[in-house]
């Protein structure tokens, strides 16, 4: 280990200090107290003093360890200190992140930390949520901190909407190991040409990959490297890993049984390997009255942020997401004109069908699905499809057991996925000094044969056409809600009318009786657990108050039933 590398051992480290011992501004301490943070995390305790000293640092710590606050707090502290001698308003801090969702997330954290000094420290998010021209007035006010993706920041710099050559003091790159993998290598190199010669820099990353080493050489100068010596995931006392052997045809039935029998409780993220599988699973669960939302990286950033917000706020307890690698799959040639990819159509009311050529499915370059997004208070992560590599498993399981919360990662493993499970276990069990990382989830599918019978028909009902129609319906909704198309529809009201009066889509037919679980299909061992089989009383005698009142209520019930109270008089 070189002299500028600092290893932080979580087990041998003393108890972290309180925030007030870090000599922070009172306004920051009040904001921290309002957020409910009792003490800094280990990485925050080590990183904040180094950044306040003006050193370049490279922060490597797992997701959920508090990296965002580790670089945001000292940045705000420095700006507040310099405000006393600052003569004019200038941009002092630049935070770069690879996706729009991460930019919004970082902006929200900084805004929460500056809630007591919002007049002194202003922060602006210029990620591609709206047009470039709409963000120009925000940058004209020269906010203290600017957050954005590399490509959008470069666009503003080339348009002279913001100038950093003379004013910038701190550059921060979050999720540094994703910057190059998202295709931002050229943008980063061009962006550095618009920055001053001397500035303080910090990189934050979950891993120390080759891309991070390359970026480190471009941005940092003699940095201190903070390496949190810990497993890539939360400790086993906090995060439990389970595997469940399941045939591919039985996965849907098992998931349906687990959810309906309340064996999985709390907020849950279900991961699959393709975007189409997201919608297939969503339509499958909706047939049983299980509401879910989909995080689709092919939709605009506003839609993705809305899905995350709905999940975090509790509107949905289940969200279905896919890995970024699923978007690189090769599309198949369409043989029949009736079956086509939904994204090949610009607007749903266009009647023609566009042929699909073999190639990679397009996605938003600045979108991030499984990586870095702060899903709040997630209790369970379910790998409906097992991840394709170790890093994908780490990032999936890292969505739960964040901070000091407990979490569970349950993986459905088919015969074909067994080798993937063994590869993940071989690489991770050494980090925990355990012979086996995964516990076997005890589940007897033969005891829920009734669930399998129902699930088989429901899964078959979700055809490829149904998935296509569901995605078209979502695209149609996005077109109707798109602010950019409002002026177009004002000039072309006939198109708007055609879109609203478009023919009904052939989605899956919902059967109301499937929402309920009959007593006879519930395993006997679980009936008492979920409250099935208890004898129901016809009348609540405690509510009735007395025997006479109960008798009166009984007669009233009899009189209100036309089949019982009906009397037929004999004619003379």
**H helix or E strand, kind and range, residue 150:** helix 150-158
Question: What separation, in Å, do the N-terminal and C-terminal C-alpha atoms of the chain show?
Answer: 111
* Tokens found for residue 157: 């710099």
Report pLDDT digits (tens) over 263-318. Answer: 999 999 999 999 999 999 999 999 999 999 998 877 776 777 788 889 988 999 99
**According to the per-residue pLDDT averaged within each range, which of 2-16, 319-333, 413-427, 516-530 is highest?**
413-427
Taken in order 154, 160, 165, 169, is the CA torsion positive or negative?
negative
Beta partners for residue 380, in sequence order: 268, 408
pLDDT at 492 over 70: yes
pLDDT at 370: 45
Q: Which residues contact 78 (CB under 8 A, 6 or more apart)?
A: 51, 52, 92, 169, 170
The residue to which tokens 């687990």 are assigned: 258
Provide the pLDDT for residue 319. 95
pLDDT tens profile 218-249: 999 889 988 776 677 888 889 999 999 999 99
The model's confidence at residue 569, banded by pLDDT at 50, 70 and 90, is low
The answer on pLDDT for 369 being more than 70 is no
Closest listed residue to residue 396, CA positions, set 502, 482, 320, 478: 320
* Residue 165, phi then psi, degrees to nearest 5: -60, -35
- The two tokens of residue 363 are 């996605």
Q: DSSP secondary-structure letter at 536?
A: P
The answer, yes or no, to whether residue 439 has pLDDT greater than 80, is yes
What DSSP state is assigned to residue 330? B
Average pLDDT over residues 538-545: 52
Cα(397)–Cα(437) distance, rounded to whole angstroms? 13
Give CA–CA dist 22/77, Å, rounded.
11
Q: List 93's β-bridge partners, or say none.
A: 145, 170
So what's the pLDDT on residue 532? 56
| 363 neighbors 298 (Cβ within 8 angstroms) | yes
Residue 385 DSSP one-character state: S
Residue 483, both tokens:
């602010």
Are 178 and 102 contacting, i.e. CB atoms less than 8 angstroms apart?
A: no
**29-86 residue pLDDT tens:** 999 999 999 899 888 999 999 999 999 999 988 777 789 999 999 999 999 999 988 8
What's the angle, vertex CA 289, arms to CA 286 and CA 292, rounded to 5?
50
The dihedral built from the CA positions of residue 249, 251, 254 and 256, taken in this order, carries a sign that is negative
Q: The whole model's pTM is what?
A: 0.68
Q: Which residue has the higher pLDDT, 439 or 530?
A: 439
Distance between CA 53 and CA 74 in Å, rounded? 9
State residue 385's pLDDT score.
Answer: 96
Q: Is the pLDDT of residue 338 over 50?
A: no
For residue 219, CA distances in Å to 58, 78, 164, 216, 230 come to 10, 20, 15, 5, 26
Q: Are 164 and 91 contacting, i.e. CB atoms less than 8 angstroms apart?
A: yes
Tokens 């606050």 identify what position?
Answer: 69
Q: What tokens appear for 446 in the block?
A: 């033969």
Tell me: pLDDT of 494 over 80.
yes
CA angle centred on 391, ends 97 and 220, rounded to 5°: 40
Average pLDDT for 466-490? 84
Distance set, CA 419 to CA 248, 387, 422, 440 (Å): 15, 11, 5, 16
């Amino acid at each position: 280990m070189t002299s500028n590398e600092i290893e932080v051992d979580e087990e041998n480290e003393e108890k972290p200090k309180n925030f007030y011992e870090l000599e922070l501004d009172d306004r920051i301490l009040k904001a921290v107290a309002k957020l409910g943070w009792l003490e800094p995390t280990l990485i925050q305790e080590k990183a904040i003093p180094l950044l306040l000293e003006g050193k370049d640092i490279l922060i490597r710590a797992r997701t959920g360890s508090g990296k965002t606050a580790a670089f945001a707090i000292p940045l705000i502290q420095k700006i507040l200190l310099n405000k006393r001698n600052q003569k004019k308003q200038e941009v002092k801090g630049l935070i770069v992140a690879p996706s729009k969702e991460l930019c919004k997330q970082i902006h929200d954290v900084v805004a929460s930390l500056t809630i007591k000094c919002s007049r002194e420290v202003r922060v602006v998010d210029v990620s591609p949520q709206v047009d470039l021209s709409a963000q120009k007035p925000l940058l004209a006010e020269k906010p203290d901190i600017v957050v954005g993706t590399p490509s959008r920041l470069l666009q503003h710099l080339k348009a002279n909407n913001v100038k950093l050559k003379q004013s910038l003091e701190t550059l921060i790159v979050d999720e540094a190991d994703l910057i190059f993998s998202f295709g931002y290598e050229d943008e980063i190199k061009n962006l550095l040409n618009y920055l001053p010669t001397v500035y303080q820099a910090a990189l934050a990353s979950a891993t120390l990959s080759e891309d991070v080493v390359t970026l480190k050489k471009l941005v940092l100068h003699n940095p201190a490297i903070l390496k949190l010596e810990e497993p890539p995931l939360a400790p086993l006392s906090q995060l439990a890993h389970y595997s469940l052997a399941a045939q591919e045809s039985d996965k849907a039935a098992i998931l349906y049984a687990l959810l309906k029998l309340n064996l999985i409780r709390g907020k849950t993220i279900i991961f699959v390997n393709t975007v189409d599988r997201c919608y297939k699973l969503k339509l499958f669960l909706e047939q049983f009255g299980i509401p879910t939302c989909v995080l689709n990286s092919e939709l605009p950033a506003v839609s993705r942020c809305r899905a995350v917000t709905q999940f975090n706020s509790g509107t949905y307890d289940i969200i279905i997401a896919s890995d970024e690698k699923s978007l690189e799959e090769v599309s198949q040639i369409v043989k029949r004109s009736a079956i086509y990819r939904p994204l090949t159509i610009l607007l749903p009311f266009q009647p023609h069908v566009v042929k699909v050529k073999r190639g990679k499915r397009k996605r938003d370059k600045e979108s991030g699905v499984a990586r870095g997004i702060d899903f709040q208070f997630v209790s369970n992560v379910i790998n409906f499809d097992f991840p394709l590599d170790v890093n994908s498993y780490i990032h999936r399981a890292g969505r739960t057991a964040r901070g000091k919360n407990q979490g569970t990662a349950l993986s459905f493993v088919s015969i074909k996925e067994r080798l993937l499970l063994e590869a993940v276990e071989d690489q991770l069990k050494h980090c925990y000094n355990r012979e086996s990382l995964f516990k076997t989830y005890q589940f007897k599918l033969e005891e829920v044969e009734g669930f399998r019978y129902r699930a088989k028909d429901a899964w078959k009902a979700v055809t490829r056409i149904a998935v296509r129609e569901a995605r078209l319906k979502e695209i149609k909704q996005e077109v109707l809600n798109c602010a950019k198309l409002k002026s177009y529809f004002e000039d072309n009201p006939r198109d708007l009318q055609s879109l609203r009066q478009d023919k009904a889509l052939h989605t899956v037919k919902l059967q109301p009786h499937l929402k309920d679980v009959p007593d006879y299909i519930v395993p006997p061992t679980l009936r008492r657990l979920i409250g099935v089989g208890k004898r129901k009383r016809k009348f609540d005698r405690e509510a009735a108050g007395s025997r006479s009142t109960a008798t009166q209520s009984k007669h009233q019930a009899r009189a209100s039933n036309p089949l019982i109270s009906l009397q037929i008089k004999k004619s003379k």
